[in-house]
């Protein structure tokens, strides 16, 4: 993209407009961000990106800048270069909606089956703060379930789940391998979920989590804490979830008012 | 935390409940996640975490497991060990709400001043897909603004912003250093923003972005694409934003129905 024209052409008093020649790395990032969004939105269903010349024209950039932009996407695992073919989309990222409270299997149904490796499941005496958040008396047991979740066989997330015993114990006899905890809670309790508060971070994978999720150590993950409630407000499901950053995006609609 | 009791104590037909002895690394992660959430919620206003013995009691875990949990938090920059004092909270993370569309300065007002280093600002001819998303005819110029945003002087995010010319040109004469683009759009246009769609990813910082944001190469970042509209639905502000993962969390409320 051409650098912005002279700021002095603009009426008024421009404040701190930098006029320095832009670095190629800045221009490459700018190109990469636009291509990245196109890739994630599925604008390249046939997987082949336009060739370098077409991208140079489209973005008004030099060949080197376009190559640097493609390099950024390749480092993120979104594209790969194939000799004689060009640049191919390799991204396997799926969008998880942040507005509607849904389980993974519900959300990603069209993309493949979610299966859960149940790493542990059963009653534990939780730390006080977990009991508090679930509205359970201190010292009372809760059900703890730890699952490695896969989409079409490939790890997607690692979920640590705490449930009050009256709700959670019933789940232990259910099909935790193939069903979402949300769906199981609603079916076994006969009650509907209402709202959930989530807090989300980007973190680097520690070595052990990386091994479990089959990603490189230090790979970026989305780490969520999510507390879900029944529709009467009772807290019922506290989860700590690590999503592989290379496999999931979060989508939301926000309102100004 | 004690391992879940025998699954066979539970009525019904437990499916794929693993009975293996849990690795210390799994137990450490479980402890770390609970402590992490407490730290982010501000449960330790005096900054000192309980000592190892108290944590061992609270979580029902061995000293080694508790130490491993604290190591995980230290690697994420959330705590540090001070000889003779104990483990201190060092996290400087702030929550950005995902439900209400707000600018950074609006959101983080109580935590300190947001200042923006305007890296470039002015008209450009955008790539076709950017024009399309903004509802601008192909070949027509838009305003491009690139800002490094700081909270109390420390880099927080790098924002690449595209605005239709009729809206964006007016911003170039405004105080882009101290004001949110959202606030400036509404004031100069006299119109209210309505909704925005966001798509969010966790990515590792490329070397150049890492240098700009003053984080280690490969550090986890939140990468957002956000398209904001006027309240009549017209798209008006397309942004690509990199947030430092160690400085920001995203908070949202979700609804089941």
Q: What is the mean pLDDT of chain B?
A: 91
Residues of chain A with Cβ-Cβ distance to B209 below 8 Å are 29
Q: Are A241 and A226 in contact (CB under 8 A)?
A: yes
Please indicate whether, in this complex, the C-beta atoms of B121 and A14 are within 8 angstroms of each other.
yes
Q: Taking residues B24-47, what's their average pLDDT? A: 95
pLDDT of res. B15: 41
pLDDT of res. B79: 97
Residue of B20, B240, B256, B257 to mutate when probing chain A, most A C-beta within 10 A: B256
Residues of chain B with Cβ-Cβ distance to A176 below 8 Å are 15-17
Please indicate whether, in this complex, the C-beta atoms of B125 and A30 are within 8 angstroms of each other.
no
Please indicate whether, in this complex, the C-beta atoms of A4 and B38 are within 8 angstroms of each other.
no
A153 CB burial (10 A radius; 0-12, 13-18, 19+) = exposed
**pLDDT at residue B8 tops 60:** no
**pLDDT at residue A14 tops 60:** no
Residue of B42, B183, B254 to mutate when probing chain A, most A C-beta within 10 A: B254
Q: Are A117 and A147 in contact (CB under 8 A)?
A: yes
Among A80-89, A156-165, B13-22, the range scoring the smallest mean pLDDT is B13-22
Please indicate whether, in this complex, the C-beta atoms of B99 and A17 are within 8 angstroms of each other.
no
A183 CB burial (10 A radius; 0-12, 13-18, 19+) = middle
Please indicate whether, in this complex, the C-beta atoms of B192 and A225 are within 8 angstroms of each other.
no
Question: By the CB < 8 Å criterion, does A40 face chain B?
Answer: yes
B224 to chain A nearest CA, in Å?
9
User: Judging by DSSP bridges, how do beta strands B154-164 and B142-151 pair with one another?
Assistant: antiparallel
And the tokens for B252? Answer: 């949202």
B216 to chain A nearest CA, in Å?
11
pLDDT of res. B20: 52
**pLDDT at residue A229 tops 70:** yes
A83 to chain B nearest CA, in Å?
25
pLDDT of res. B4: 56
Q: Taking residues A46-61, what's their average pLDDT? A: 95
Nearest CA in chain B to A171: B14
Residue of B13, B60, B122, B162 to mutate when probing chain A, most A C-beta within 10 A: B122
Question: By the CB < 8 Å criterion, does A250 face chain B?
Answer: yes
Question: By the CB < 8 Å criterion, does A54 face chain B?
Answer: no
- Tokens 């007002």 identify what position? B109
**pLDDT at residue A51 tops 80:** yes
Q: Taking residues B7-21, what's their average pLDDT? A: 45
Considering only CA atoms, which of B254, B256, B251, B223 is closest in space to residue B93?
B251
**pLDDT at residue A166 tops 70:** yes
**pLDDT at residue B14 tops 60:** no
Residues of chain B with Cβ-Cβ distance to A126 below 8 Å are 1
Residue of B70, B76, B117, B120 to mutate when probing chain A, most A C-beta within 10 A: B120
The model carries a pTM of 0.91
Q: Are B206 and B178 in contact (CB under 8 A)?
A: no
The SS3 call for residue A16 is: coil
pLDDT per residue over B76-123, tens digit each?
999 999 998 899 999 889 999 888 889 888 889 888 999 999 999 999
Q: Taking residues A94-106, what's their average pLDDT? A: 88
Q: What is the mean pLDDT of chain A?
A: 91
A46 Cβ neighbours under 8 A, 6+ residues apart: none
pLDDT per residue over B142-153, tens digit each?
999 999 999 999
Q: In the 8-state DSSP scheme, what is residue A156?
A: E
Among A164-168, B2-6, B10-14, the range scoring the smallest mean pLDDT is B10-14
- Of residues A21 and A25, the one with the higher pLDDT is A25
User: For chain B, what percent of residues have pLDDT higher than 70?
Assistant: 92
B85 to chain A nearest CA, in Å?
24
B149 to chain A nearest CA, in Å?
14
A139: left (phi over 0), alpha (psi -120 to 50) or beta: left
Residues of chain A with Cβ-Cβ distance to B161 below 8 Å are none
pLDDT per residue over A183-206, tens digit each?
999 999 999 999 999 999 999 999
**pLDDT at residue A3 tops 70:** no
Q: Taking residues B43-50, what's their average pLDDT? A: 92
And the tokens for A155? Answer: 């790890």
Cα separation, A25 vs A134, whole angstroms? 48
Cα separation, A197 vs A174, whole angstroms? 26
B214 to chain A nearest CA, in Å?
15
Q: Taking residues B147-166, what's their average pLDDT? A: 96
Question: By the CB < 8 Å criterion, does A80 face chain B?
Answer: no
Residues of chain B with Cβ-Cβ distance to A198 below 8 Å are 251-254
The SS3 call for residue A61 is: coil
With b for 16 or more beta-carbon neighbours within 10 A and e for fewer, the A110-147 pattern comes to eeeebbbbbbbbbbbbbbebbbebbebeeeebbbbbbb
And the tokens for A116? Answer: 């859960």
Q: Taking residues B239-256, what's their average pLDDT? A: 95
pLDDT of res. A99: 84
Among A57-61, A86-90, B4-8, B131-135, the range scoring the smallest mean pLDDT is B4-8
Q: Taking residues B10-19, what's their average pLDDT? A: 42
Interface A-B, measured as beta-carbon pairs within 8 A, has a size of 332
B49 to chain A nearest CA, in Å?
14
pLDDT of res. B174: 97
Q: Using the Cα atoms of residue B10, residue A212, residue B3 and residue A144 in order, give the sign of their dihedral.
A: negative
């Amino acid at each position: 993209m051409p650098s912005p024209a002279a700021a002095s052409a603009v009426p008024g008093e421009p404040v701190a407009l930098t006029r320095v020649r832009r670095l190629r790395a800045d221009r490459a990032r700018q190109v990469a961000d636009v291509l990245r969004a196109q890739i994630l939105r599925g604008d390249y269903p046939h997987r082949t990106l336009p060739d370098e010349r077409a991208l140079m024209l489209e973005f008004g950039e030099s060949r080197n800048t376009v190559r640097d932009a493609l390099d950024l996407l390749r480092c993120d695992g979104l594209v790969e270069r194939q000799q004689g073919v060009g640049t191919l989309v390799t991204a396997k990222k799926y969008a998880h909606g942040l507005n509607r409270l849904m389980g993974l299997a519900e959300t990603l149904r069209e993309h493949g089956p979610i299966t859960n490796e149940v790493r542990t499941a059963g009653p534990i005496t939780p730390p006080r703060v977990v009991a508090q958040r679930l509205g359970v008396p201190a010292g009372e047991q809760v059900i703890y379930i730890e699952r490695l979740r896969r989409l079409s066989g490939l790890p997607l997330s690692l979920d640590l789940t705490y449930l009050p015993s009256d709700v959670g114990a019933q789940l232990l006899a259910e099909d935790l391998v193939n069903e979402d905890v949300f769906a199981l809670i609603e079916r076994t309790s006969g009650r509907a979920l209402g709202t959930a508060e989530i807090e989300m971070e980007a973190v680097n994978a520690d070595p052990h989590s990386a091994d479990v999720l089959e990603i490189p150590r230090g790979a970026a993950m989305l780490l969520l804490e999510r507390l879900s409630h029944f529709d009467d407000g009772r807290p019922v499901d506290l989860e700590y979830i690590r999503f592989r950053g290379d496999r999931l995006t979060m989508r939301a609609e926000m309102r100004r008012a």
